[in-house]
Structure 1
């Protein structure tokens, strides 16, 4: 016996319905139209606010210069995406941008893999639709992205014959509207140039804001983690070989306490912000952060530059600054690969 045999057959007859008077029907239809119109107006207003918000966001442009230096191979990689295309963004997000520098060691495969894949993984994990506590979700997204990128590369590296032993630092800047999120592993760095009025002269001066934290085995917390994992630090290096304590790749050192968990920094942009510098340690071996920012600022404000056809003066100066900064690092004796990214900020 079927379970529903005792139920009556469905019918298309809805039964008796009380007839509405013409004026009641008209009032009902009017209420529906009013509600629908209000919903449309609210949605249009939200879209308009979102567009206005996007129009007020700072314009970002990226400029890069790379030098091989005295190395036989260029092992650095970089990514410049001033407009990172994404679908189904949270309603409170109008724009994403992404800039990154990767300093490879033991080969260029880890840095190239990260440059090609990390932002793709980031997009797949970025919050979608209506969300609450966006900042918390963005931070989780970045942590998950670095973990996944490292796992994916290690899986690929271990499948090779012989296995790849490449590794890479990573300094990535994700811009969500007018907020910077910087995630970094290793000793590449990101610094922000913020202009403030000097009290004595009244002129604007550059204030250096560090947006990243270096990870090397000489730092107490890093050394303790390595030693707890059974590794050792000799001559300032993991097992006397690896200079950084966090990286993508380096599978042979992961059992010794080298991790791929990035340090995260958040920074709200203001109209006083001029540019962000992202660079590998090849630059910072011969430049302090303050010195590098002042070097760039002098070119932006004082030195003569030659513009390309159709190029704005601002873009021409930033391009010249990135080129001259990288060249100056080599001239000062940096034997490493040197990659310099300047991200201009214009409100």
Structure 2
């Protein structure tokens, strides 16, 4: 999976400012006016030609955008054996309504996210309510040349802003809130998936690839990276900040090394900077599973994908009004996947989002 690469900074042509010209003679002024009129006519002709070309390119763009994937999200949440549900989630197949304007080369933006709270549900709920709004405010617009880099910066700024806003609110309470939350967000810009994640919630993609005898086999692609204090780079950052890792936890307590909230651990090297990954969707892609660690404590990523595929291949399915047979199968698969995690002994909250991909 391709990680973001830093793109070169846009170049700007800037030169020295010319000094004021000396006063011209009347003849020179007339010649300059005539020259100005000729330049103006040329510019008008050029603008007319450019507008025509832009119109042609617009038609081409419209044709190209017809092949975009159609995304639909399903969600299942189980409290497990916990006293309260501390997970939160967001499904927005069309984020455009929150954006003031889309970049000229973008037709649609979708957003799906899961937040796994700890120490309470306030950080996860806050992130679910505010992160996509901060994202919408910072999302690039106009006609940017380096859209990938701008989206990367937008995601980084969004996570930082959401964390700062929650910590400010948490510290103003009496007693101060000590909640924290993981965050795994899937942003789909036309046919490109951007995944930003903190902590141990995960996103995986099911892709079907050609195999022998014209059959297709499923391939499971990781779209996120786990953050816990036992990972070398994470532990080194925590120790450099003056923190310790005991029993695989920050200060022997916190299981994750990156999160939103957790103000008492931010001085110990716990950060809110997400890992970012980008993936181009293809016609072989079937679905994305986005889930908290409650699912992946009892399922491997490959097992979860195969579980969904097996339900999709079952013969009988109960029809529901207004839904296609495939819609019903995906809904059933999402619900049964979450239920199976509880049956397998997961005592934690379990939230599963299944995002279907149709070209």
Q: Distance in 2 between matches of 1:321 and 1:294?
A: 11
The 1:231–1:137 alpha-carbon spacing in structure 2 relative to 1, beyond 3 Å, is same
Q: Distance in 2 between matches of 1:175 and 1:90?
A: 14
Cα offset, 1:52, TM superposition: 2.4
- List alignment gaps of at least 5 residues for structure 2: 1-29, 31-40
Whether 1:72 and 2:83 are equivalent positions in the alignment is yes
Cα offset, 1:38, TM superposition: 4.2
Q: Distance in 2 between matches of 1:279 and 1:149?
A: 20
What is the SS of the residue equivalent to 2:243?
coil
Native 8 Å contact 1:50 1:94 kept in 2: no
2:193 counterpart residue number: 180
Cα offset, 1:88, TM superposition: 2.5
1:190 counterpart residue number: 203
Mapping 1:63-142, distance limit 5 Å: 63-85=74-96, 86-142=99-155
Whether 1:170 and 2:183 are equivalent positions in the alignment is yes
The 1:333–1:40 alpha-carbon spacing in structure 2 relative to 1, beyond 3 Å, is same
The 1:152–1:32 alpha-carbon spacing in structure 2 relative to 1, beyond 3 Å, is closer
- The count of corresponding residues between Structure 1 and Structure 2 is 324
Whether 1:244 and 2:238 are equivalent positions in the alignment is no
1:12 counterpart residue number: none
Q: Distance in 1 between matches of 2:298 and 2:67?
A: 38
The 1:303–1:247 alpha-carbon spacing in structure 2 relative to 1, beyond 3 Å, is farther
Cα offset, 1:92, TM superposition: 1.5
1:322 counterpart residue number: 334
Task: Name the stretch that deviates more: 304-313 or 100-109.
Answer: 304-313
Whether 1:52 and 2:63 are equivalent positions in the alignment is yes
Q: Distance in 2 between matches of 1:244 and 1:288?
A: 19
Match of 2:172 among 137, 141, 159: 159
What is the SS of the residue equivalent to 1:325?
helix
Cα offset, 1:134, TM superposition: 1.0
- List alignment gaps of at least 5 residues for structure 1: 1-15, 17-29
Cα offset, 1:197, TM superposition: 1.7
Cα offset, 1:31, TM superposition: 9.3
Cα offset, 1:315, TM superposition: 1.1
Native 8 Å contact 1:305 1:320 kept in 2: no
Whether 1:145 and 2:155 are equivalent positions in the alignment is no
1:306 counterpart residue number: 318
Native 8 Å contact 1:83 1:97 kept in 2: yes
1:344 counterpart residue number: 356
CA-to-partner distance for each residue in 1:67-125, whole Å, 9 max, x for gaps?
A: 01111100100111111112332222111110000000011110011011101111111
Match of 2:229 among 217, 234, 239: 217
